[in-house]
Amino acid sequence: MNWLKNIALICITSFVTIAIIEVAFRFYQSWNVEAVESRKIAGLPLHDFEHHFCYGPKDHQKFDPEVVSREYENQQYFEFRNQSVALHTYDENGFRIAGSTEAKENGVIVVGDSFVRGTLADDTETIPAVLNRWYPDTEFHNFGIGGHGPKQYLKTYQANSSTIEHDLVILVLYLGNDAQNDLGFESRLARAKELYELQQQRGLSYATKMKIKFAAILDKSAVGDVFLKSYRNLKNKDAVAPNAASLPTARELSDQLVTSVSEFKAYTDSVGKKLQLVTIPSREYFDSERFPVWQQEFAVEVTDHMEAALDDFAEGHGLPPVVHILPMLQAEFDKGKALERIYGWPDAHFTEYAYFLTAREISNALASSLGYSPVATSEFVNATEFDPAHLNCPSAVES
């Protein structure tokens, strides 16, 4: 029986130690280890530890046999990330609404990943939604899906664009991981198919359910926040550390991105649509405090290489000049804007203010290169804002 007492003593000691560390972490806020604040004060129950679903399936993203995953159709939810909460509404095709309900004369499709989807932004503050306010005669459609890369952008566009009247496609490339996503797309799709087939046969295993619950506990604690950040940093270093033998070089990543963009352009040419390229840099490019030196230096090298390669591609293939968002962001920082005004943390997507700035850069390019005429590109105004602690679903009835 001594061994049972020893195990019990170890468990109690571990629990008390973790509790003391948790209290210490919360007391010393300067350590910057606070878990996602909005989830801890959420005024609505969280169905999966970061979402409250107002209507539609109580699940975030579904399996798709062509593109790995995508959003559910006819769904609305609050997404709790960082210190804020954002309202997401998805239409009958599984795309995020872009703020316009009236039929318009012209159409533009904006394709990309979570930066086009508008992570950290309400429905009214995504890039397409902001552009819709400025162009009363043009409908900007949001084809952004989180976690996707250019190969998936093309498949999504091919499958969903034929019924939408449009003359122009804006392809928004996230230089933080688009090329990496394409390099690993086939293997990710194969794993997703295998998991989906297993789930169809047996449903979620007990171990998987426990893993989800454990992740929720980690996410709501400061100790868990430190653990997760450390794990992710080690995982990222294994994936992209400079000394790794399998590391793609900046040139290889640029070549992959240009190859994917070339395939996208070939298709838009075949259906008679114009194409405008836009690039968004990752937070790593600017942030030397929260990321290891090797990670930031690698991000700078890759980003600079990709921008130059895309400029050459656009010039050589008769496209309008690429809209690089990086110089505009650098100008904001030079004027004294804090990094947190542009990028969120620990979720490092754009803030609503940065989405507004990006929409303005795109609008300027559309006006100068393609002859589009906005009514106005006013100063940033947050059209929709929610308090995480005091929420009600806009829909009349929750499902």
pLDDT digits (tens, 9 = 90+) for 122-165: 999 999 999 999 998 899 999 999 999 999 999 999 999 999 99
What pLDDT is attached to residue 241?
A: 42
Locate all alpha helices (DSSP H) within 161-287, ordered by sequence: 178-183, 185-202, 206-219, 222-240, 250-270
Does residue 179 register a pLDDT over 90?
A: yes
Q: Residue 56 pLDDT more than 50?
A: yes
354: amino acid identity, one letter: A
The pLDDT assigned to 12 comes to: 78
**What mean pLDDT is reported for the chain?**
86
The conformational region for residue 347 under phi > 0 = left, psi -120 to 50 = alpha, else beta, is beta
For residues 229 and 241, give the distance between their C-alpha atoms in angstroms, rounded to a whole number: 17
* Element housing 9 (H / E): helix 2-27
> What is the phi/psi pair of residue 70, to 5°?
-165, 170
Average pLDDT over residues 349-372: 94
On the question of pLDDT at 166 being above 60, the answer is yes
Read off the pLDDT of residues 251-301 as tens digits, 9 standing for 90 and up: 999 999 999 999 999 999 999 999 999 999 999 999 999 999 999 999 999
345: pLDDT strictly greater than 50? yes
Neighbour count for residue 382 (Cβ, 10 Å)? 12
| pLDDT score of 28 more than 80 | no
Beta bridge partners of 53: 77
Mean pLDDT of the 233-259 span: 69
Q: pTM here?
A: 0.84
Segment among 55-64, 151-160, 366-375 with least mean pLDDT: 366-375
CA distances from 258 to 255, 278, 310, 314 (A): 5, 13, 7, 10
List, in sequence order, every residue forming a beta bridge with 144; answer none if it has no partner.
112
Architecture of domain 40-369: 3-Layer(aba) Sandwich (3.40)
| Window from 72-86, 213-227, 277-291 with minimum mean pLDDT | 213-227
| Distance from C-alpha of 356 to C-alpha of 361, rounded to nearest angstrom | 9
